[in-house]
Structure formats: C-alpha cells, structure tokens
Amino acid sequence: DSGVTQTPKHLITATGQRVTLRCSPRSGDLSVYWYQQSLDQGLQFLIQYYNGEERAKGNILERFSAQQFPDLHSELNLSSLELGDSALYFCASSLRLAGSQETQYFGPGTRLLVL
Amino acid sequence: GIQVEQSPPDLILQEGANSTLRCNFSDSVNNLQWFHQNPWGQLINLFYIPSGTKQNGRLSATTVATERYSLLYISSSQTTDSGVYFCAVERGPGNQFYFGTGTSLTVIP
C-alpha cells in the first residue's frame, strides 16, 4: 500500500458526461501528479500541483481540469467525455517538487470506461 | 516534445536469468525515472537516476546523460519481476514528464 488513495476505483459513464476523480496524497506529501494510461496513448503525464498551485502541465485536454485543495487532496475533472477518454487514471504524490529526486508514490488508479 | 524509446518491447526470461532494459531519449533531460507496473496495474517508482549508477537489491540502473540513454539491469530474475517497466524523463520548463512505451517482462518459473 503506497498510502495514496484514489476514488472511485471504477467508473462507467456515457459520452458527453462529466466525472470527478479524487486523489488523497500520502500524509505530508505536497506534490500531486495526474497520469493517464490508455492502450493507444500509453502513459501520459497530465498535470502536477504543488501545495495548491499548478506547477507543470502535460498532455491535458482543455475538457479536463484539476485542482489541489488546501487539505492537499486533488480532483481531476473530465467533461464532455468521449470514448477515447476511457483509460486508467493514476494519481501520484511526492514530498516536494519533481527534480529534487523525490520518489513518487502511486495510487491504485481509477479505471474509467466511457460508453 | 521529447521522444523516449524503450527496448526490447517484450522479454521472456527463465527464472534466475539476468536482463538489461534500455531507454533512449532524444534530448537533454533534468531527470530520469524507472517504474515497474505489476500485472495488477500497480505502479512503483524504482529509481530516480539523472546520471550515474544506482543499485537496489537485484536491480541496478545506469544513466549516461551525455549519450542520452539509461539501462536497467535485473539480475537473478524472479516471477515477481514480471510486469511492464517504464522509463520516464523529466524536462523543463515546468518539469513535464515523458514516458517510453515500456518493456513487458515475463519471468517463467
């Protein structure tokens, strides 16, 4: 158990809908990262937050948004869902900013299926 | 963005064998990580290794940043080593991460 929790574990929804994925980092970790893993795109970095502020942005679509709250949990919002958004969404946390050789600890992921 | 290529794409080993996985990247990077995704999907960070060599038990990694490649060595492989090994590089500004397509390792008893 990495100490990072993600909810829900599974999510099935329809095209055009909106969903929210939640991540609680390890106790004391200030950085949260979101990743998407799909069969055709592989693993992709979406976005990173540090202590409530956005610090790095990767291949995150405009239909997607994220935030980190004062209690450091983070939410990833996916809207106007398309079939191609079906994927495993991972959250990871680390103590400090990337680049400081801090290990990232991954949650178990949320598996999203868009029908 | 930066291109990250991993080889081989697939590897099947007998238990006890050694293996070397390679990660090539197309530009200078701030950092490099190796991850293992087990057959149940759990991702585990193995190494942060922007340069040099690190060892952790039966695993070791070497990154030659000037030549833009990294190697992951697995010695005396065990069935629990099965899964997919990903290399990811970190590049600024903004410390974005770019993943390779992974090496799928199967260790047979």
- Residue A87's pLDDT is 97
Are A106 and A89 a contacting pair, CB within 8 Å? no
Question: Per-residue pLDDT averaged across B51-69, rounded?
Answer: 96
Residues of A at the B interface, defined by Cβ within 8 angstroms: 2, 33, 35, 42-45, 48, 55-58, 88, 90, 92, 97-99, 101-106, 108-109
Please calculate the CA angle A91-A107-A52 and round it to the nearest 5 degrees: 40
d(CA A60, CA B65): 28
What pLDDT digit, counting tens, does each position of B6-18 carry? 999 999 999 999 9
What pLDDT digit, counting tens, does each position of B61-108 carry? 999 999 999 999 999 999 999 999 999 998 876 678 899 999 999 999
pLDDT at A20 over 70: yes
Write out chain B residues lying below 8 Å of A42, CB-based: 99, 101-102
- Residue B97's pLDDT is 86
What pLDDT digit, counting tens, does each position of A27-55 carry? 999 999 999 999 888 899 999 999 999 98
| Mutate: best of B90, B95, B96, B101, partner A, most A CBs <10 A | B95
- Classify strands B103-108 and B10-14 as parallel, antiparallel or unpaired: parallel
- In this prediction, what percent of chain A has a pLDDT beyond 70? 96
Nearest to A101 among B41, B48, B99 (CB): B48
